[in-house]
Structure 1
Amino acid sequence: MTLDIDPSADPSLSHTRAVAANGRFATLTFDRDVAAPPSTLWEAWTAPAARAVWSAPTPAVTVEYLEADTRIGGREVSLCKVEGEPDVCCQIGWLDLRPPLRSVNYEVISREGESLSVALVTAAIEGNGERSRIEVTVQLTSLAEDMEEGYRQGFGAGLDNLSAVAGRTMILQRVIAAPRNLVWKAWMNEETLPQWWGPDGFSCRTKRIDLRQGGEWVFDMIGPDGTVYPNHHRYGEVRTEERMAYELLWGENGPKHADAWAMFDDMGGTTKVTLGMVFSTAAEYQTAKGFGAVELGLQTLGKLERFLLSR
């Protein structure tokens, strides 16, 4: 048995595949029922900012993402860190992406430069309405040591986390009638962002703003009735014209209530914007949904489009 992974897709796989001929093999299957629509589960499964929330199997493990490119041919590189132990490197290469139904990726696990395992991971999502199901099949080749039990525990815990995260994830999408570079410039410009951000009738009062990776935006949202809502966004990864990730805090340096991201897909003259939020707790998600966060968020994307069309 061999895994059909083309080494030319990533030269670092050549040695790993050669060693796999003498490895130990196992096929593992995991499945979970999830209280979220298939489209939301897909975003939670594939979006880098969401994966960063659920991928650590236990609180003792910290996952640091060095690279993340969720496109066919793209790869993801992360380090799993446990205090007192050598870091474990996980390299993923995306081979097939068919939203919101199916993904296929290879996965190479290594420690201190030694390949421990290689796997082919296939995820299938099905469902309708507000519920869905994910089935993950892992064709595993253990190399330097037997990795089967570790995979059973790691994938099992990770999918438990995914199920919980997907259940408190909110996804908003709109196709904007403007090219991607203009949409990005309107969003990541310190002068223009406050002009359109927020639902209909709301305005922004900025205290300080720095939209670079590691930067922040401290501002007040002011409602139509004059009510002031303090906000604080802290920016993580920023990939020009592709995506950004940020934390939402209740006021300056207040408690975090969501991990958020925005993704920009070029549609050939128009731009599909996906705005995602993983709320910190299920209760916060339900509260946000109850006061109309979906409708208010879609109004915000509508204001962005009107702003662009007016220029």
Structure 2
Amino acid sequence: MSDRIATLTFERDIAAPPDAVWAAWTAPAARAIWASPAPSVTVEFLEADTRVGGREISLCKVEGQPDIRCEISWLVLEAQKLSVNAEVISCEGKTQSVSLVTATVTGDDARSRLSVTVQLSSLAADMEAGYREGFNAGLDNLAGVAERTMILQRTIRAPRSAVWGAWVNPETLPQWWGPDGFSCRTSRIDLKSGGEWLFDMIGPDGTVFPNHHRYHDIRPESRLGYTLYAGENGPKHADAWASFEEDDGATRVTLGMVFATVSEFEEAKGFGAIELGHQTLGKLDRFVTAE
């Protein structure tokens, strides 16, 4: 059995700050984007709860082959620094491997290094080659996702239930959404998994910006995931999520967006999307705390 025990190491230097790399590594919406190691592989997430004690369950599917089940248990999460998780791989009810995965993130405002160590025990067969191939492909994908990810955060001095309620109430969301001076004109809104929000954002000068959000992952008072389109059924703009964490009586809100391409991400930064996004979270803060 000793010849089936291996320690594998992987490193990537990524042109993105640590918060973007950490989000790509841990946020369920981002993990779903890069998880597939090849176009022929489909990854279906059955469960995703990224917190200490939480777990992630996914099925790796290749046409004509039995599904591979991956179950992750999160053991340590130190934001933007360190994660440790246990991973069990099985196929047709038989455990193939067990591993301990440790990831560290270091860097500055422009670049990061992601270091991953996998302590692998192969059970049904020697899994080392498959792990090397899978992790190398996945981390290459992750680097591409991180380099087009925008992360915005704000701590709001209000209970999580109040902040969540302002976001998922169809009456209140249009009241605060958007940067300073912008308003929303809603055509239809259904804030649930499988629902959508079709609306126009109207700028201070009257310019109309068509928007279409499609919601696919809503976990009460925890997170919501959605896809942004430029108008009804228009071009995809970004995959996005918002998460809500208790923080000593307050609520830490994280808004993440993975743009369709790096060029679109750079273009968004160029016209001030980061500043405008912070204005939006500021409006949410004022809306909730004024109540």
Q: Which residue of 2 aligns with 1:223?
A: 203
Pick aligned residue for 1:68 from 48, 51, 59: 48
In the alignment, the residues of structure 2 paired with residue 127 and residue 303 of structure 1 have an alpha-carbon distance, to the nearest angstrom, of 31
| 1:116 and 2:96 are equivalent in the alignment | yes
1:183 aligns to what? 163
Q: 1: CA distance between counterparts of 2:281 and 2:242?
A: 11
List per-residue Cα deviations over 1:69-122 (Å, max 9, x = no partner). Answer: 111111100011111211111000011111111111010011111111111101
For residues 43-122 of structure 1, the aligned pairs below 5 Å read 43-122=23-102
**Alignment of 1:253 onto 2:255:** no
Q: CA deviation at 1:25?
A: 0.9
Q: Are positions 1:205 and 2:185 aligned together?
A: yes
Q: What are the superposed Cα offsets for residues 238-280 of structure 1, whole Å, 9 maximum, x if unpaired?
A: 1000000000011101121110000001113211000000001
Alignment partners' CA distance in 2, 1:163 and 1:281:
13
Q: Secondary structure at the match of 1:286?
A: helix
CA distance in structure 1 between the aligned counterparts of 2:12 and 2:241, rounded to whole angstroms:
25
Q: Which runs of 5+ in 2 are unaligned?
A: none
Aligned residue type for 2:242: A
Q: Which amino acid aligns with 2:220?
A: T
What TM-score, normalized to structure 2?
0.98
Contact 1:263-1:275 at 8 Å conserved across structures: yes
Distance 2:246 2:105 in 1: 25
Counterparts of 1:252-271 in structure 2 under 5 Å?
252-271=232-251
SS at match of 1:181: helix
Q: Secondary structure at the match of 2:170?
A: coil
Deviation at 1:310, TM superposition (A): 2.2
Aligned length: 291
1:149 has 2:135 as partner: no
SS in 2 for 1:296: helix
What is the aligned partner in structure 1 of residue 265 from structure 2?
285
Q: 2:15 aligns with which of 35, 39, 46?
A: 35
Q: Does 1:236 align with 2:253?
A: no
Amino acid at match of 2:277: G
1:153-172 maps to which residues of 2 (within 5 A)?
Answer: 153-172=133-152
- What's the RMSD between the two structures over aligned residues? 1.0
- Runs of 5+ unmatched residues, structure 1: 1-20
Q: Deviations over 1:21-53 (max 9, x none)?
A: 778111111000001111221111111111011
Are 1:126 and 2:106 an aligned pair? yes
Taking every aligned residue pair, what percent have the same amino acid on both sides? 68
C-alpha separation between the residues in 2 aligned to 1:27 and 1:210? 48
User: Aligned with 1:295: secondary structure?
Assistant: helix
Which residue of structure 2 lines up, in the alignment, with residue 308 of structure 1? 288
TM superposition score normalised by structure 1: 0.92
- Between the aligned partners of 2:204 and 2:108, the Cα distance in structure 1 is 37
Q: Which amino acid aligns with 1:179?
A: P
SS in structure 1 of the partner of residue 249 of structure 2: coil
SS, match of residue 252 in structure 1:
coil
How far, CA to CA, are the matches of 1:81 and 1:23 in structure 2? 28
Rounded to whole Å, the distance in 2 between the matches of 1:23 and 1:241 is: 46
Answer whether contact 1:23 1:143 (CA < 8 A) is retained.
no
| Aligned 8 A contact 1:117 1:141 in 2 | yes
SS of equivalent residue, structure 2 residue 52 = coil
